[in-house]
Amino acid sequence: MNHRFLVAVVVAALPTVGRGAAADPPPLRTAGTSVQDGWVTVVPGEFPDAINNPLKGFRDYKPDGYGLVKRAYIRWSDIEVGAGDSVDRIVAHTNKITMHKGKRFEELNVKLVPRVYLDWNGVAGTPQKPEQHWPADLHAFDYDSPAFQERLKALVAKLGKAWDDDPRIFAVQMGLIGRFGEHHNPAPTADQRRSLAEAFQKAFKNKPVLVRHTDAEFMAAGFGVYYDTFANITREPPDGPKSQFPWQALNVHKDIWKRAPIEGEVEYNWQKQRPDAKPKETFGLTPDETMKVPEYRRYMVDKIRLYHASYLGWIDNYDPTDRDVLAGTAEVQKAFGYRFVIDSVGYPLTPEPGKKLTVKLTVRNTGSAPFYLDWPVGVALLDPATKKPVWSAPLDGIDVRKWLPGEDWDSPTFAYRRPAVAHRNEGHATLPKDIKPGQYVFALAILDRQGGLSPSARFAIENYFRGGWHPLGFVGVGKPPAEAALKNVTFDSPAFDDSLHYTVPDKLRAMKAPPVPRVEAVTPWTPDPKRELINPSRYWALDGPNERLEKQILADGPKSDRVIRATGDFGPGASLNYTLGNGAKLDAGRYRFAVRVRGTPDRTVDFELTDGWRKVSREAQLPLTKDWKEHVIEFEIKAKFKEETTLRFSLPRDGRGTFDLTDTRLKMVE
């Protein structure tokens, strides 16, 4: 897909600002070259089509389509066997997963977004197919122990050492806690959120960090978001839950996209299984439908623009061999992330060897999001015959991360109320003293800083040579060139360029997995209906109606056992819940449940059995006192549950208070 075309000196170009723009569009510009007082000014023609640029678009790699970002789930146990394991194992695993059909990611210009997780789906799994991936010296499901908190911080420090300077890594999803690493079942406690925010900020200075929920601690840290039901109408304002990303992004944390990427998944299963998702009124049932149907495509572009999304997954499962699908994909690709249109470039006609070279650059970001990595704009003098750099250098004084797009998206007019502004920059580099006199092609590129300063991200202009450089005019070293303008020059298309690549330090690629360290493995817990059915290491999950109710972990129970505390503002739906596992059910029979509780006096909690989240029965009402009190409750299960058996403590419906529980025991009785 390597289009070529001839560009004349003067071309009329109208930058795309969206249909029905609420603000006046930029004035009509005329592409061309002018020279005045030894200064060359070039207005290049805008490239009209989509560009398969890195760090944006569809979360996949397709040789014949759009997508240069890959997300990878990484099992904690694959990168750390025990506390004494080294960073080398993380690097060796990164080498293993940054391959595609025998080719390395750097050869394909592909970047990785990793997510480390422990719990896949809430069950233990089987020896043949384990679903828990905890290090050998930690108990599965034990998110609440002090030992886990320390290991959490230590692992994040190792991840920073392994990934923060690795050119293959674009961003890091926090993961680590909850099913699928999505911060639910359980959600991280407030203490964990504070600890994680501090640890990730310390570990990652060069790479953005993304989280699943807009918790205040994470938003204050400047983290981005990975959202797993992107554009689903049941999660959208005005009717969607206010705790979820869409409402938060529009009403609370309006500028999070300016600091770190917004990405996620387009949940097509919801579209197929839930009538309230209204697939025919939103984005259809499959990625191909989204791409082919103009109304569906417009709906998706609207959400990308609204939330300033950089890239998305699941929607990447489109068919690149279908021409209609690929055409629609290109339209969506243009909306994703950044899109840098050069309005004008200025440079000296006859730069002097050994002297400072000044470049003036005016750029608009007509995309939806910033560029989040500190990549420099590079300048080069190309050999006119080979089109290869004779000399190149990064320009000081230009920060591409500051080229923000438009803001305040207006869906009815399909445009930003504050359109993208022109960002005026002045960059500098020093020509070598020994550069050979002669005529050269002046060119610019955006360079991958950690990837060996290789040309990578492309500007949305027609002036392009395969290999990553944008030629803009001639310069003369020693004497002025015969002509500054690039007349009758055949440019390559910047849309797809499979020659682009970056470099990875040899010491990273050469890293092998170290010997397995000596580990004192824990004994896995197994249930026994006659002795004990509650895993002492498994968490109790808090479900609360507001952020003012939180779960805390104490260690001051009657037997020095772990104490689970719910404290803050109670409300309808507030509860502490224990599941035996995702889909796990108690058999029919009679059971005895024992627990010690305490809390705000004169309040009560209900002990209930639920089938998933549906209440089956209220088995007891427990009055709270300031001192510990043990309760023994017997109940009978007559029919097997459909979803999963959950032990639930329903908290008071209103007021403020505290509820503590400890020393929980459950067994079957004759």
DSSP annotation of 548 reads: T
Does this model's pTM top 0.75? My answer is: yes
Mean pLDDT across the chain: 93
Q: Which of 204-213, 324-333, 453-462, 639-648 has the lowest mean pLDDT?
A: 639-648
Tens-digit pLDDT profile for residues 58-91: 999 999 999 999 999 999 999 999 999 999 999 9
Tell me, what's the pLDDT at 10?
Answer: 34
Give the end-to-end CA distance of the chain in Å, rounded to a whole number. 72
Question: Is residue 105 scored above 60 in pLDDT?
Answer: yes
Calpha distance 43→362 (Å, rounded): 10
Tens-digit pLDDT profile for residues 240-280: 999 999 999 999 999 999 999 999 999 999 999 999 999 99
Higher-confidence position of 449 and 525 = 449
Question: Is residue 23 scored above 60 in pLDDT?
Answer: no
57-275 maps to which CATH number? 3.20.20
Confidence of residue 547 (pLDDT cuts 50, 70, 90): confident
**Domain 541-669 is found in CATH 1.10.1740.10:** no
Question: Is residue 26 scored above 90 in pLDDT?
Answer: no
Close Cβ partners of 401 (under 8 Å, ≥ 6 residues apart): 370, 371, 372, 373, 374
Question: Is residue 546 scored above 60 in pLDDT?
Answer: yes
Calpha distance 570→543 (Å, rounded): 10
- Say whether 551 sits in a helix, a strand or coil: strand
Confidence of residue 2 (pLDDT cuts 50, 70, 90): very low
DSSP states of 408-457: EEETTTTEEEEPPPPEEEEEEEE--TTPPPEEEEEEEEEEETTTTSEE-S
Tell me, what's the pLDDT at 205?
Answer: 98
Number of C-beta neighbours around residue 104 at 10 A: 15
Confidence of residue 17 (pLDDT cuts 50, 70, 90): very low
Q: What is the mean pLDDT of residues 620-642?
A: 94
Residue 210 one-letter amino acid = L
Q: What is the mean pLDDT of residues 465-471?
A: 98
Question: Is residue 638 scored above 70 in pLDDT?
Answer: yes
Tell me, what's the pLDDT at 29?
Answer: 67
Tens-digit pLDDT profile for residues 50-61: 999 999 999 999
Close Cβ partners of 195 (under 8 Å, ≥ 6 residues apart): 149, 152, 153
Tens-digit pLDDT profile for residues 572-593: 999 999 998 888 899 999 999 9
Question: Is residue 108 scored above 80 in pLDDT?
Answer: yes
For the purposes of burial, counting CB atoms within 10 Å of the CB of 64, is it exposed (0-12), middle (13-18) or buried (19 or more)?
exposed
Picking from 664, 640, 660, 641, the residue whose alpha carbon sits closest to that of residue 651 is: 660
Q: What is the mean pLDDT of residues 552-571?
A: 87
Tens-digit pLDDT profile for residues 272-329: 999 999 999 999 999 999 999 999 999 999 999 999 999 999 999 999 999 999 999 9
Picking from 119, 103, 111, 104, the residue whose alpha carbon sits closest to that of residue 187 is: 119
Question: Is residue 42 scored above 50 in pLDDT?
Answer: yes
Calpha distance 181→113 (Å, rounded): 14
What stretch(es) of the chain map to CATH 2.60.120.260? Answer: 541-669
Calpha distance 472→467 (Å, rounded): 15
Calpha distance 417→407 (Å, rounded): 7
Residue 492 one-letter amino acid = D
Question: Is residue 13 scored above 50 in pLDDT?
Answer: no
| Inter-residue contact 571 to 549 (CB < 8 Å) | yes
Please give the C-alpha separations between residue 414 and each of 19, 73, 335, in angstroms, as whole numbers: 6, 35, 12
Between helices 146-163 and 87-97, what is the axis angle to 10°? 60
What stretch(es) of the chain map to CATH 3.20.20? Answer: 57-275
DSSP states of 362-423: EEEE-SSS---S-PPEEEEEE-TTT--EEEEEEPBT--GGG----EEEETTTTEEEEPPPPE
Close Cβ partners of 408 (under 8 Å, ≥ 6 residues apart): 416, 417, 418
Tell me, what's the pLDDT at 358?
Answer: 98
| Inter-residue contact 381 to 347 (CB < 8 Å) | no
Calpha distance 632→664 (Å, rounded): 10
Higher-confidence position of 105 and 529 = 105
Q: Which of 23-37, 276-290, 516-530 has the lowest mean pLDDT?
A: 23-37
Q: For the chain, what percent of residues have pLDDT higher than 70? A: 95
Calpha distance 36→151 (Å, rounded): 64
Tell me, what's the pLDDT at 369?
Answer: 98
Tell me, what's the pLDDT at 1?
Answer: 38
DSSP states of 213-240: S--HHHHHTT-EEEETTTT-GGGSTTTS
Higher-confidence position of 556 and 82 = 82
Please give the C-alpha separations between residue 92 and each of 166, 201, 589, in angstroms, as whole numbers: 12, 24, 50
Confidence of residue 19 (pLDDT cuts 50, 70, 90): very low
Question: Is residue 6 scored above 70 in pLDDT?
Answer: no
Q: What is the mean pLDDT of residues 2-18?
A: 33
Higher-confidence position of 341 and 562 = 341
